[in-house]
Amino acid sequence: MRLDSKLKLIHRGLILVCVPLLFELVIVSVLLYQTYELEAEINKEKQAKLIQNSIGDTVSQFYKIGQGLNENLWNSSIESFEQWNEQVESLPRIRQDLKETLKHTPLYKSQGETLMAPLQEFETQHLDLARDLILQRLLLSQQACGPEEFVKIIDTELFDEIKAEGEIGQNFSVSYSEKLNKIFKTIKGSQRESPKKQQQIRDQQKTFLFVAMIGSIVLALQLAFFFVTGIVKRLLTITDNTLRLKEERELNPPVGGKDEIALLDGVFHDMTKALKQSREKEREMMDKIVVAEARVRSTIENMPVGVLMLDEEGIIQSINPRTETLFRREPSELIEKSFEPLFQAPQKLEISLLKHLISEQGKNIELNALRSEDETFFADVILNEVNTFEGKRYLVSIQDATERHELERVKQEFYAMIAHDLRSPLMSTQMSLALVVEGILGEVNPKMKTALERAELSTKRLTGLINDFLDFEKLQSGKFELKSKPMYISNLIERSVSEVQGLADKGGLTIETPDMDAMTYADEDRLIQVLINFLSNAIKYSPENSTITIQAKKIEREILIAVKDQGPGIPAELQSKLFKSFSMLDNQPGSGVKIKGTGLGLAISKMIIEQHEGTIGVDSKDGEGSSFWFRIPIKSSA
């Protein structure tokens, strides 16, 4: 793996910024150094000119002083002395100017003392002495009357000193002038070399600038290559991957590396893999949805009930073939039309039919449906709300209830026939048999009495069977109404026991009753029916000479009444079937008891207790007897 692939983007950015900056700093530094050298040479040339001028002035001044010294030593002119003396007095200034000019140059460091010390020594030791000699000669010449007198009166010793001093001054001027001229020539030669060095530096600058320009181009190309291969090329690979993902083609291999681009590419590959899996699952799901939709559509198309799909305004969006059959209309007559004209709304309905069905959502509503303007039929209508991709919709199922109504009519006629054509004659027969058995209508022999008693018992059982059927029908159809009134629990138990006491005595059974004086608001006759059913079952299944116990107690705001026997008990797997219609324990395997009955007693009891907003149940273990119980709330009024 290449090094640049291991660099993060921030490191690449720093390289792209810092490398050109460092290169530029090197270029600027070299150019500044060369410019400094060039300026140093230019300043050196300027300084050489200043030194040259200063030395020239010094040589010229010494020449004038030396020449004036010889003239003033041998000539007696006060004017020339004064002029020469001014030149001598300016010598310290010239010497200081020369020192200032040379002190910052390498020349001063190497020859400064050699130049300044003799000059200062000559000035202090010889020029002052020369000035005194000149003044002495001027005084002597003023005292003389003519040249001849001058020669005569002049002091030979003074003459010798003047001659010696003149020679010293002349020699110093010549030697010092030669030294200055030598330095002047050196400076002059250096001055001639400076332009060459300056040109050489300028040529170096041009060469360096050209090399720097080539280097900048090469560096830019290298950085561009580094950027393209390290960033742009890999980003283009990721961009190409996005197009490949769009076209569902295979992606390029991972770009590699450990930087942010490699991380992005890795995330993109992972995302693509997850998206591919998601697409596969989506395809599988869509296939399943298509199959399910076809199955649902096929189911709806073949359903024996009519199906309407409505929008939120009650406009029909779709129907199934059964709907066409029910209403005998073409799809074009139903689709995009309101569904309400297909039904007769219930009387006194203050809201629209759609809102009525929505308020009763999920419930079976019976309506009169219109096949045509003159023909109607009974329809069971159920509305359910469904959410689709198009929004909220209502699914309406329509079942032709004509046959059910006909069956209901036949059933009602059947129950009416039982109530009037069977129960009334049977009750009359039962009363007649009772009168004959009691001997009220005349004496009967023992054999006939036994036969009549059996006939009376059969008639009584048949009458009870008819009453159970009629009660069950009332409870099922909702026509059953409680006749609640204040009642005492003790009275309820007493009346129930008196009804079954004869049967208990025949079996040698004892019924224990509780001392209960609680009062509630309920239908006493119906509760007696329930309690008699419990006692009758207990008598049927209890062994001879056993005890049946009635329990009654308050539990918070409820009254519990239970009938416990000492019979064989009820297996757990059979207990759940006890309160179902037409289910009898004596018809269950393993019960060991064969007693005839309708199997409606406990089912009717359950309905009666539920009408009282109570609960009913049984507690039993196989071989340990059974306890049938019910609980009803304590009420003071309806």
More confident residue, 591 or 97: 97
Where do the domains of the chain lie?
14-198, 303-400, 406-474, 482-633
Residue 532: is its pLDDT beyond 70?
A: yes
pLDDT band at 475 (very low <50, low <70, confident <90, very high): low
Mean pLDDT across the stretch 127-132? 68
- The confidence score (pLDDT) of residue 1 equals 42
- The confidence score (pLDDT) of residue 562 equals 93
Distance CA 67, CA 84 (A): 9
Residue 445: is its pLDDT beyond 80?
A: no
Whether 22 contacts 136, CB under 8 Å: no
- The confidence score (pLDDT) of residue 151 equals 41
Residue 116: is its pLDDT beyond 60?
A: yes
Residue 330: is its pLDDT beyond 70?
A: yes
Residue 333: is its pLDDT beyond 80?
A: yes
Q: Could you give the C-alpha distances from 345 to 258, 355, 365, in angstroms and in order?
A: 75, 11, 11
Distance CA 626, CA 542 (A): 10
Distance CA 478, CA 470 (A): 12
pLDDT band at 148 (very low <50, low <70, confident <90, very high): very low
pLDDT band at 107 (very low <50, low <70, confident <90, very high): low
pLDDT digits (tens, 9 = 90+) for 44-98: 667 667 666 766 677 677 667 766 666 666 565 677 677 777 777 777 777 777 7
- State the residue for tokens 């792209």: 16
Best mean pLDDT range from 31-35, 85-89, 412-416, 461-465: 31-35
Residue 360: is its pLDDT beyond 80?
A: yes
Mean pLDDT across the stretch 22-51? 77
Q: Print the SS3 string covering 581-599.
A: CCCCHHHCCCCCCCCCCCC
CB atoms within 10 A of CB 261: 22
- Cβ density class 310-333: b for 16+ within 10 Å, e for less: beeebebebbbebbeebbebeeee
- The confidence score (pLDDT) of residue 593 equals 44
- The confidence score (pLDDT) of residue 630 equals 93
Query: Which of 46-55, 288-297, 303-312 is predicted least confidently?
Result: 46-55
Query: In terms of DSSP bridges, do strands 510-512 and 547-555 run parallel, antiparallel, or are they unpaired?
Result: parallel
CA 86 from centroid of its chain's CA atoms: 102
- State the residue for tokens 């393209």: 228
Query: In terms of DSSP bridges, do strands 365-370 and 343-344 run parallel, antiparallel, or are they unpaired?
Result: antiparallel
pLDDT band at 474 (very low <50, low <70, confident <90, very high): low
- State the residue for tokens 């204040």: 486
pLDDT digits (tens, 9 = 90+) for 177-219: 666 666 666 666 665 666 777 778 788 878 888 888 888 888 7
Q: What is the pTM of this model?
A: 0.40
pLDDT band at 592 (very low <50, low <70, confident <90, very high): very low
- Give every CB contact of residue 172 below 8 A, 6+ residues apart in sequence: 66, 118, 122, 126
The token pair that represents 448 in the structure block: 């006939």
Whether 90 contacts 68, CB under 8 Å: no
More confident residue, 576 or 497: 497
The token pair that represents 421 in the structure block: 């054509």
- The confidence score (pLDDT) of residue 55 equals 66
Task: Domain 482-633: give its CATH architecture.
Answer: 2-Layer Sandwich (3.30)
pLDDT band at 423 (very low <50, low <70, confident <90, very high): low
Whether 628 contacts 615, CB under 8 Å: no
Distance CA 115, CA 119 (A): 7
CATH 3.40.50.1820 fits 303-400, yes or no: no
pLDDT digits (tens, 9 = 90+) for 372-419: 777 888 888 999 988 887 788 898 988 888 877 777 776 666 656 666
Closest CA to 462 of 497, 422, 489: 422
pLDDT averaged over the chain?
Answer: 76
Asked if the domains 303-400 and 482-633 are classified in one and the same CATH topology, the answer is no
Helix/strand/coil for 636: coil
Mean pLDDT across the stretch 412-437? 66
More confident residue, 456 or 378: 378
Query: Which of 249-253, 314-318, 480-484 is predicted least confidently?
Result: 480-484
Mean pLDDT across the stretch 589-613? 68
Residue 331: is its pLDDT beyond 70?
A: yes
CB atoms within 10 A of CB 68: 22
The token pair that represents 502 in the structure block: 């004869």
More confident residue, 134 or 346: 346
Residue 166: is its pLDDT beyond 70?
A: no
Distance CA 530, CA 520 (A): 16
- The confidence score (pLDDT) of residue 143 equals 59
Closest CA to 549 of 575, 510, 516, 517: 510
